[in-house]
Amino acid sequence: MSNQTDSTDPTPTATTPPRKPTLREKGRLMSSSEIERTLVRLAHEIVEKNNGAANVGLVGIKRRGVPLAQRLAALIAKIEKQPVDTGVLDISFYRDDLSTAGPRPTVTPSPIGFDVNGRDIILMDDVLYTGRTIRAALDALFDQGRPKSVQLLVLIDRGHRELPIQATFTGRLVPTSKREIIEVKLNEIDGQEQVLLVEVTEPIS
């Protein structure tokens, strides 16, 4: 008896994995030098808005918000000649920039890294899209204390908000369609430094 599957058998079973979307690169939005110049500008804007940095604490949303916070802390420290506290919020879910119908973001409980009570907190992420990531981050932040103020910094704002959330500091505003994706690549995580605009050429299942 042959062990081969009958060619008349019905195909894909319930266990067949969904097809991954095909992505097409449309262009580079920012080079390494442009990212660096943008961060220098944002560092000066943070210092100006907060009358210095004595009460400022930077909190990066994992993953790429973390190296952004660390870089900005170093830049602000050079400007103000004093160290700046940095911390991390770990929020895991389908990336806000890759899904409009993913599950609710989930927070991995862990200490931010410094006391946020009474501080002017700058919350940082790479891309601002629907706002769901930031909503989860704010809930997690206030679970750990009561800051004096919370300001949002993003490298890219691509629009399409689903919640009334806006950034205080924006590196670049990039109008996009819902089929487009912003890919931020940083040396600390990706081994390269650039921001790309890519397009989904097949529907996301």
Q: What is the mean pLDDT of residues 116-144?
A: 95
Residue 69: burial class (beta carbons within 10 Å; 0-12, 13-18, 19+):
buried
Quote the pLDDT of residue 43.
98
Q: What is the mean pLDDT of residues 131-151?
A: 94
Q: How confident is the model at residue 22 (pLDDT cuts 50, 70, 90)?
A: confident
φ and ψ at residue 188, rounded to 5 degrees: -65, -25
pLDDT > 90? residue 21: no
Rounded to 5°, the CA angle 173-177-181 comes to 75
Domain boundaries, the chain: 34-177
CB 181 within 8 A of CB 198: yes
The larger pLDDT score, comparing residue 158 to residue 6, is at: 158
The larger pLDDT score, comparing residue 75 to residue 97, is at: 75
29-33, 42-46, 115-119, 199-203: the lowest-pLDDT one: 199-203
Looking at the DSSP bridge assignments, the partners of residue 124 are 60, 153
φ and ψ at residue 13, rounded to 5 degrees: -85, 175
Question: What CATH code is assigned to 34-177?
Answer: 3.40.50.2020
Q: What is the mean pLDDT of residues 36-50?
A: 98
